[in-house]
Structure 1
Amino acid sequence: MRQNIEQLRYRVGDAGVMQKMHVVKPRVPFDPEVMGFLQTLSKKLLAFPAARAYSDIISLGFWCRKASLEQLKKTHSTNDFLLGRGVAFHIAPSNVAVNFAYSLIAGLLTGNANIVRLPSRSFAQVDIICQLINLALDEHDVIRDFICLVEYGHEREINNALSAMCQSRLIWGGDQTISLMRQIPLTPGAIDIAFADRYSLAIIDADFYLTAVNKQRIAEDFFNDTLLTNQKACTSPKLVVWLGENKELARKVFWQHFEEWLRRKPAPEATSVINALVAYCQRVAEDPMLKYVPSATRHIFRVEVKNVTQEMLGNHQGDGLFYEWSVDKIDEILPVCGEKCQTFATLGVSNNVVEQFILRHAPKGIDRVVAVGQTMNFSLHWDGYDLLKTLTRTLSL
């Protein structure tokens, strides 16, 4: 294995840690020393001056706070005797900055040693988080053997070597990456956890929105759900569904407030603007009923639709393109709730309404229902997996 991984670039950990990772003893979930390390990391994330420019880093810092972790432990309380599986090999997505950190933390909280392939794209957030993890490890040396964060290209021999080491492999999409990684065998007792390409949507009750007094906060929340990642995250709504009586007025006011919020942000990259325009032109050539809705900012490209398909959303590449669909009943959105539908972000729509919709139709998709502003909030329940149970062994005594 040593020869196969010589090309690894270590951001956290080193070759010595990697070489002995297979003999590291797994821990129980929510191990006190792991919890202490994460609390130290949280303090550093929240206090580091350069991190304040990145709301996703701040969210990560809040997620790792002592109170947050204790609540997570309480939520996942069980009488089962659980131990980490061993080594978890994480392949992080290339287009989302902080996903790798949440995946790592899930591995740590479930008692595993972790090898994480970092995003191939350059992100300032990755640099900051890696720097602060190293500083936190200086105060928690006992956790050092549990973390290797590495960078490498598309060398199959490295993937082969790391896959041979692990007891669980977490593949964070897209579908092509999953297909390629599944061609690389694991040891007989190891498991794959694949997070396929997904899409998400927002459902807004127009009448509720019009009476909301915190419209600027809603605009900020919607930004964090969508354009913070340029809609590249599976959790980012690509479609906005409008319910209620006063849909037209609500749409007008909603986007006015959102555009006002966007004026505080840097101008979008020219490639994003062009990509959204090209995507619209390709789509309108197939469906002339699509209607472009002019915006006061180049950050967004609004398209009013009369009908939406899974294919439209599955091929959506982000870049500020928003489909808008006005419906009379929530049941009308069933056609887009296939297995690739991940998250409903709701505003003014009760969980009971969504629950009854799911019970009536039993769609193959919809793994999460959260409020607008919370789509990026990570949980140990993700894409239908209970990561606490999946990343641990249950011992019968």
Structure 2
Amino acid sequence: MTAALPETQHVTLRLPARGRQALQDVLADLRGASTLAPYDPVILEFCAAFAQRLSRRARGIPELQALAFWMRRAELTRLKADFEGLATERTVLMPRGLVFHVPPANVDTIFIYSWLMSVLAGNRNVIRLSSRETDQMNLILEVLNETLTEDAFAPLRGNTVMLSYGHDQTITTALSLAADVRVIWGGDRTVATIRQSPLAPHATELTFPDRFSLAAVHSGRYLAETEEQHRALAEHFFNDAFWFDQLGCSSPRLLVWVGDETDVQAASQTFFGHLQAVTTAKGYQVDTATAISKLTFGLRAALDHPVERFERLSNEVAVLPLTRFAEVRGEFCGAGLFYQLAAAKLTDLVPHIERRDQTLSHHGFEPEELRQLVTALNGRGLDRLVPFGEALNFNRYWDGHDLLQAFTRRVYLQPEAR
């Protein structure tokens, strides 16, 4: 099923780098592109080669180094083994077909993670990129285009298209109707806007809308650790919170201290002191406009929520202690502003967790304590519970979806009885 397109509909091709092209020609090329079986050696070799080249070119850019590390050959091999484990005697794993990805504008690397899980499964892909270019996005596209020029990867040319265009519903509808799967990353408003464009009747959809993430620390166990452990934990938390200026869906915005009042106060003071030192050591700075925005946001939050005070450690780190759990999931300025809450035990969070709550970064809890929290929640919220330093690490399980399965079609095969 396709939409009739005016001849004037054009998009800008970023991969392959061909500039402005007629959309109907792009769709025709995609329909005729060659395909490979899931986890074909050519796909694995291409992804590994891209990761190696990106790692060399992106020195000093931690977000891209993390992406390259996640795409290393060992991880691809593990994903292949996990994928093969999904098959049964009576099911054959096949690609779904054409996947249309709409990534967010605020996280430069998510479109590659989304594309990777799909291309490994053998799908053809079209990714709409934001017209707002960034140095990181441009570097990724440059490395992808370079890698595709290698003769060994000729079978992959043409089955992935990365393009940009303005807010044109006609184009979005044409791409949506051509797709077998549509993947929308972004806020609730983005999801609602894209959903105005229909899908083909057989197509499926994955959405990753507005999410809220938080962190929790067992105060007593934290205080029992060494200064070196405290510094290391602050570095892990820095990676979770300050990459993407705290605006990633899994970046913690609320820090919950679990324990008695004395331990909570001591642990908080120690932790944020180390976090401030880490931001200085790493050279993280915010500009004057952002610093003013944080101050304004913090003062307004003190009026709107049960905030005890506004603790400004620096332009880069500010804390808003709450007297009780409050609805702080909406507007947020990021860039090192943290709500803070005390709780007697971890399961005290249960009545306050909602479906939009995605990631809980944790430190100092036993596995059984975490499992008790998940069991008590009974599906009302939280899709990921990960240690500090892992909040932004992508994997096959995201927002409650198993992406290995989401990008795969199962063909049922029942042999004739003999």
**Above 0.5 in TM-score?**
yes
Query: How far has the Cα of 1:119 moved from its partner?
Result: 3.0
Q: In 2 relative to 1, CA 120–321 (structure 1 residues): closer, same or farther, beyond 3 Å? A: farther
Aligned to 1:78: 86
Q: Which of structures 1 and 2 has the bigger CA Rg?
A: 2
Which secondary structure state, in structure 1, belongs to the residue aligned with residue 368 of structure 2?
helix
Residue number among 18, 21, 27 corresponding to 2:30 in the alignment: 21
The answer to whether the aligner puts 1:377 opposite 2:393 as a matched pair is yes
Cα displacement (A) at 1:282? 2.3
The amino acid that maps onto 1:216 is R
Q: C-alpha separation between the residues in 2 aligned to 1:74 and 1:265?
A: 40
Contiguous gaps of at least 5 residues in structure 2 = 414-418
**1:41 alignment counterpart:** 50
Q: Is the 8 A contact 2:35 2:159 kept in 1?
A: no
Q: Which amino acid aligns with 2:358?
A: Q
Q: Give the structure 1 partner of residue 220 of structure 2.
A: 207
Unaligned 5+ segments in structure 1 are none
Matched, 1:302 2:323: no
Shift of 1:207: 2.9
TM-score, length of structure 2 as denominator length: 0.89
Deviation per residue, 1:20-66 (Å, 9 max, x gap): 21233554432221111100011101111xx1121010000011111
Distance 1:231 1:5, change over 3 A: farther
- Out of 15, 21, 30, which is 1:12 matched to? 15
**What value does the CA root-mean-square deviation take over the aligned residues?**
1.9
1:268 to 249, 272, 286: 286
Distance 1:164 1:215, change over 3 A: same
Question: Which residue does the alignment assign to 1:292?
Answer: 310
Q: Is the 8 Å Cα contact of residues 4 and 157 (structure 1) preserved in structure 2?
A: no
Matched, 1:239 2:247: no
* Letter of the 1:57 counterpart: L
Distance 1:74 1:196 in 2: 30
Asked whether the equivalents of residues 34 and 155 of structure 2 are also in contact (C-alpha less than 8 Å), the reply is: no
Change (3 A) 1:337 1:33: same
1:297-336 equivalences in 2 (<5 Å): 297-309=314-326, 311-336=327-352
* Alpha-carbon distance in 2 for matches of 1:360, 1:336: 12
Whole-angstrom distance in 2 between the partners of 1:193 and 1:391: 10
Does 1:217 pair with 2:225? no
* Paired letter, 1:371: P
Separation (CA, whole Å) in 1 of partners of 2:121 and 2:367:
29
Q: SS in structure 1 opposite 2:268?
A: helix
Q: Give the residue type in structure 1 aligned to 2:157.
A: R
Q: Alignment identity in percent?
A: 30
Question: Residues 373 and 65 from structure 1, CA distance in 2 versus in 1: closer, same or farther, beyond 3 angstroms?
Answer: same
Aligned residues: 393
Contact 1:201–1:344, Cα closer than 8 Å, also in 2: yes
Aligned 8 A contact 1:90 1:169 in 2: yes
Question: CA 1:396–1:158 in 2, change beyond 3 Å: closer, same or farther?
Answer: same
> Compared with structure 1, are the counterparts of its residues 157 and 348 closer, same or farther at alpha carbon in structure 2 (3 Å cutoff)?
same
**Which amino acid in 1 is paired with 2:55?**
L
SS of corresponding position for 1:230? helix
Q: Equivalent residues in 2 for 1:1-397 (5 A)?
A: 3=6, 6-13=9-16, 14=18, 15=21, 18-24=27-33, 26-48=35-57, 51-76=58-83, 77-79=85-87, 80-139=91-150, 140-210=153-223, 211-212=225-226, 213-245=228-260, 246-263=263-280, 264-287=282-305, 289-295=307-313, 297-309=314-326, 311-397=327-413
Q: How far 1:344 sits from its partner (Å)?
A: 0.8
**CA shift at 1:277, angstroms?**
2.2
Structure 2: how far apart are the matches of 1:71 and 1:361? 31
Task: Flag the 1:126–1:107 CA change in 2: closer, same or farther, 3 A.
Answer: same
